[in-house]
A and B are shown apart, each in its own frame.
Chain A
Amino acid sequence: MAAHTLNIYMLSLGRMHCHIYGRNVHKALNRATYATALSTNNSSPNKGFPDRGSRGPIIRRPRREEGEPRKDRMPVDQDWTAVYPTAAPFRPGSVPLPVRMGFPVKRGVPPEKKGNLELIKIPNFLHLTPTAIKKHCEAMKLFCTEWPSALDTNVKCDEHFPIKIECKDYVSAGTSIRNPSARIVNLRVKLSSLNLDDHAGKKMVKLLGERYCKETDIITIITDSCPVRQQNYDYAMYLLTVLYHESWKTEAWESEKTVADMEEYSWEDSPSQKNALSTLVRMQIAGEVEGDAVRDKLLGRPEVQEYRESVIRLMNEGESESSILQYREAVKKLLKL
């Protein structure tokens, strides 16, 4: 029936169109056919619902009344872990806080939490309150062994176990227990606990590059190139061993180390030392003969030592008002002003 009416509708429309360009003579006629073709005389008993014809009405359970939201029935000292035992989306009826979230339209406030999609979208940690975590710890204690009593301070731990390995395990509710991020191994060692001399230490730092933190003196090696955690752990230990042995060796090309490669500023053989010495020599032109003895004597003077300290401080620590003032005093003493 519906299809039939549709066809007549199209036909009448077609007739209307072909007459638009001509004259509107048959307007009344067309309207009549149009009107009779689409009679909306439905015989279905339900108002507003589609006409299902012989199939019968859609049976739906009658809607029951909403109960009181849970938050109104919550005592103050309730067990929150029972309300949110696991990670669950935000339920406005279960959280007794008057939270508002969203963009306030002009002269308005952020929308309330009832029916607020923004609050549902964001992750929440309502299932991880301190009480909940205590309960998790109590439950996990069954599977743990006791901490050795002799290792009660951090210092002792570092002394006996300088290498610290960190791995993460992942648990999720899903079809598979595997998680590829579990293969990552994080190895941390303090550089001072390794047996390295001066040259080996500097070479190690250069080899490590970004993996070494100067403030805390910790080497961090993160390996994730192998598919299995065991393999990554072996690779990290191998890297540490290789770095250690390589930094003890001295290659032939290391003798070409330039001033720009040096980590710290050393005053000996620097342009600053040459300038200072030449100035001092020129200042005492009358009398002294040039020679190594004079140079050593000049270097041994307290003003020169003070000057040396101030220049080293300026170069290593960078500039600041105080270091420049120190430099100034040292130069004044050097030039006897």
Chain B
Amino acid sequence: MWRACQSERHLGQYYTLPTSHLHTIFPHGLPARYQQQVKTFNEGCVMVRQPALELISYLKAADYSKPAVRYLLYGLKGSGKTMSLCHTIHYCSTQGWLVLHIPDAHLWVKNCKELLPSSYHTSRFDQPIEASNWLRNFRTTNERFLSKIKLRQRYTWTKRESTEKGSPLGELVDMGVSRVKSSSDVVGAVLKELRLQAAETEESEGFRLAVAIDGVNSLWGRTTIKKEDKSPVAPEELTLIHNLRKMIDNNWCGGAVIATLSQTGSLYSPSSAYLPKELLGEEGFDSMDPFIPVPVSNYSEKEFESCYLYYLDRHWLQHPHSENEGKKEIIFLSNRNPSVLERLCAFL
């Protein structure tokens, strides 16, 4: 497939995501403004950029009998980390991997409307709404795997309900979506199963697992969720976070963990922080270590030109000065930062 053959020759050029892929692979993954842009232009075009290509080359070269390698995308605000992540996820799913995409881990540690004490583990808390939302999107993304993967273990939910060993994963996911109360535990079970089974080789119906987390620094920070007695909840006490942390450990093989740091949604961190250790903290760094940091920077000259030409081509820039004089102004105002550029061009 030509998408897999992207190389440095294609740097700065746009490639189109097929609409069907947009609905299946990215039901919840793309940044909000990009989704609006997709709706406006009636197509989703992604620029091929250096960080994404680098990640894809690492993924191609990695040995999947070894423990999972962790990659961390970091960079200034609005420089394209989430888009690079989405590009990589698209590559992974076209290669037939199972993609576990958590669009914004920050959403799980703040503004939680319902917090239930966990039935499985007394000191932990469940978040049914977020968990069931995520399961629904997971089901949309990975339809074809749901029937192929069989459970290795029997899971008992209540005295009367249980999921038998050997039943397909799809049944578990459906149960989680319908029974909202135990959805967080279902998420935990799904993650565990996938972790155990990804280690299989390709011949025995194994698969490669890509865990993509946006905003991974929320897993080790603070939360704004409070218990009933107004004391704050630590991230470990949330079932979803606890299970996700287990996925990040490199004690499983047959896949990769791709994460991005995000200051935008993070709590209690200064807005100028963008380097890994600042945002991850001591605990986070120790958990992710050793990982490969991949820096994402603002557009280079060539990339900026390409983006500008794309907007002109789509007739997005209507101002008469857009051709020449306005370009210098825009370069000065946005400093070639992708998100600032996009917001500026929205007015023109």
B232 in contact (CB, < 8 A): no
Contact B290 A335 (CB under 8 A): yes
Whether A321 pairs with B295 at a CB distance below 8 angstroms is yes
A305 proximal to B (CB < 8 A)? no
Bound together, the chains give a CA A227 to CA B251 distance in angstroms of: 68
* Interface status of B117 (Cβ within 8 A of chain A): no
Kindly identify, within residues 266 to 315 of chain A, every residue whose CB is under 8 Å from any CB belonging to chain B: 271-272, 275-276, 278-279, 282-283, 307, 311, 314
Contact A272 B286 (CB under 8 A): yes
Given A278, A307, A319, A332, which contacts B275 in the complex, CB threshold below 8 Å? A319
A307 near B290: Cβ-Cβ < 8 Å: yes
**Given A319-B275, A321-B295, A337-B58, A271-B289 contact (CB < 8 Å):** yes
A184 smallest CB distance to B (angstroms): 40
A interface majority secondary structure = helix
CA distance A71 to B58 in the complex (A): 81
Q: Which residue of B lies closest to A275 (CB)?
A: B289
Interface centre among A276, A319, A334 (most CB of B within 10 A): A319
Q: Which residues of B contact A275 (CB under 8 A)?
A: 286, 289-290
Q: Which of A40-48, A56-64, A323-331 interfaces with chain B?
A: A323-331
Across the interface, B292 reaches (CB within 8 A) one of A279, A282, A311, A337, namely A337
Task: Indicate whether B265 reaches chain A with its CB closer than 8 angstroms.
Answer: no
Contacts of A324 in B (CB 8 A): 275-276, 293, 295
Q: How many whole Å from B173's CB to the nearest CB in chain A?
A: 30
Assembly CA distance A336 to B290 (angstroms): 12
Are A282 and B276 in contact, with the CB atoms below 8 A? no
Query: Which residue of chain B has the shortest Cβ distance to A319 in the bound complex?
Result: B275
The contact size tier of chain A is: 20 to 34
Contact of B61 with A by CB under 8 A: yes
Could you tell me the distance between the alpha carbons of A276 and B288 in the complex, rounded to whole angstroms?
Answer: 11
Give the distance to chain A from B197, nearest Cβ to Cβ, in Å. 18
User: Of B62-70, B135-143, B300-308, which binds chain A?
Assistant: B62-70
- Of residues 244 through 273 on chain B, the ones whose CB sits less than 8 Å from some CB of chain A are 250-251, 253
Q: Size class of B's contact patch?
A: 20 to 34
Which residues between 231 and 251 of chain B lie within 8 Å of chain A, taking CB atoms?
250-251
Give the distance in Å from the alpha carbon of A272 to the alpha carbon of B280 in the complex: 14
Residues of A within 8 A of B253 (CB): 282
Cα of A285 to Cα of B184 in the assembled complex, Å: 33
Q: Of B61, B63, B67, B294, which is within 8 A of A282 by CB? A: B67
How far is A276 from B289 in the complex, measured between Cα atoms in Å? 8
Residue B278 CB within 8 A of the other chain: yes
Q: Is the CB of A283 within 8 A of B290?
A: no
**Contact call A272/B295, Cβ cutoff below 8 A:** no
> For residue A279, which residues in chain B have a CB less than 8 angstroms away from its CB?
67, 250, 290
Verify if B291 is at the interface (C-beta below 8 Å from A): yes
Quick check: is B277 within 8 A (CB to CB) of the other chain? yes
- A150 to chain B minimum Cβ distance, whole angstroms, is 52
A272 to B58, CA, bound (A): 22
Most A CB within 10 A of own CB, among B61, B63, B292: B292
Q: Which of B67, B278, B293, B294 meets A283, CB within 8 Å?
A: B67
The answer on a CB contact under 8 Å between B289 and A319 is: no
Is the beta-carbon distance between B62 and A337 smaller than 8 angstroms? yes
With a 10 A CB-CB cut-off, give which of A278, A314, A335 has the most chain B CB atoms.
Answer: A335
Inter-chain CA distance A328–B62, complex, in Å, is 15
In contact, B290 and A334 (Cβ under 8 angstroms) = yes
Please name all residues of chain B whose beta carbon is closer than 8 Å to the beta carbon of A276 when the two chains form the complex: 289-290
Q: Are A272 and B289 in contact (CB under 8 A)?
A: yes
> Roughly how many angstroms separate A282 CA and B66 CA in the complex, as a whole number?
7
Find out whether the CB atom of A319 lies under 8 angstroms from the CB atom of B278: yes
Shortest Cβ gap from A119 to chain B (Å): 44
Q: Which residues of A contact B276 (CB under 8 A)?
A: 319, 324
Would you list which residues of chain B between 275 and 323 have a CB under 8 Å from chain A?
A: 275-278, 286, 289-295
Q: What is the distance, in angstroms, from A306's C-beta to the closest C-beta of chain B?
A: 12
| Contact call A319/B295, Cβ cutoff below 8 A | no
Provide the bound-state CA to CA distance between A35 and B276, in Å. Answer: 95
CA distance A282 to B68 in the complex (A): 10
Specify the chain A residue showing the minimal Cβ separation from B290: A331
Q: Are A319 and B58 in contact (CB under 8 A)?
A: no
Question: Are the CB atoms of A331 and B67 closer together than 8 Å?
Answer: no
Residues on the A chain within 8 Å of B62, using CB:
337
Complex: A20 Cα to B103 Cα, angstroms: 89
A327 to B294 CA separation, bound complex (whole angstroms): 11
Give Cα A336–Cα B276 distance, bound, in whole angstroms: 22
B293-A328 in contact (CB<8A)? yes
Task: List, in ascending order, chain A residues with CB within 8 A of B293's CB.
Answer: 324, 327-328
Most chain A CB neighbours (cut-off 10 Å) among B58, B275, B278, B290: B290
B15 to chain A, nearest CB (A): 25
Q: How far is the CA of A272 from the CA of B276 in the complex (A)?
A: 15
A272-B289, A319-B277, A324-B275 are known contacts. Are A283 and B295 too (CB-CB below 8 A)?
no
Cα A271 to Cα B249 with chains together (Å): 13
Minimum distance in angstroms from B253 CB to a CB of chain A: 8
* Closest Cβ–Cβ distance, residue B295 to chain A (whole Å): 7
Instruction: Kindly provide the distance from the CB of B195 to the nearest chain A CB, expressed in whole angstroms.
Output: 14
Would you call B277 and A314 a contact (CB within 8 A)?
yes
| Assembled-state Cα–Cα distance A327/B292 (Å) | 8
Q: Which residues of A contact B295 (CB under 8 A)?
A: 321, 324-325
Interface set, chain B 60-83, CB cutoff 8 A to A: 61-63, 66-67, 69
User: Taking CB as reference atom, which chain A residue is nearest B69?
Assistant: A335
Contacts of A278 in B (CB 8 A): 251
Q: How far is the CA of A276 from the CA of B286 in the complex (A)?
A: 10
- 17 residue pairs A–B, Cβ–Cβ below 8 Å: A272-B289, A275-B289, A276-B290, A282-B67, A283-B66, A307-B290, A319-B275, A319-B276, A319-B277, A319-B278, A320-B275, A324-B275, A324-B293, A324-B295, A327-B293, A328-B294, A336-B63
Apart from A319-B276, A328-B292, list 20 A-B contacts with CB within 8 A. A272-B289, A275-B286, A275-B290, A278-B251, A279-B67, A279-B250, A282-B67, A282-B251, A283-B66, A319-B275, A319-B278, A324-B275, A324-B293, A324-B295, A327-B293, A335-B69, A335-B292, A337-B58, A337-B62, A337-B69
Measured CB to CB, the residues of B under 8 A from A are 58, 61-63, 66-67, 69, 250-251, 253, 275-278, 286, 289-295
- 3 nearest A-B residue pairs (beta carbon): A271-B286, A319-B275, A331-B290
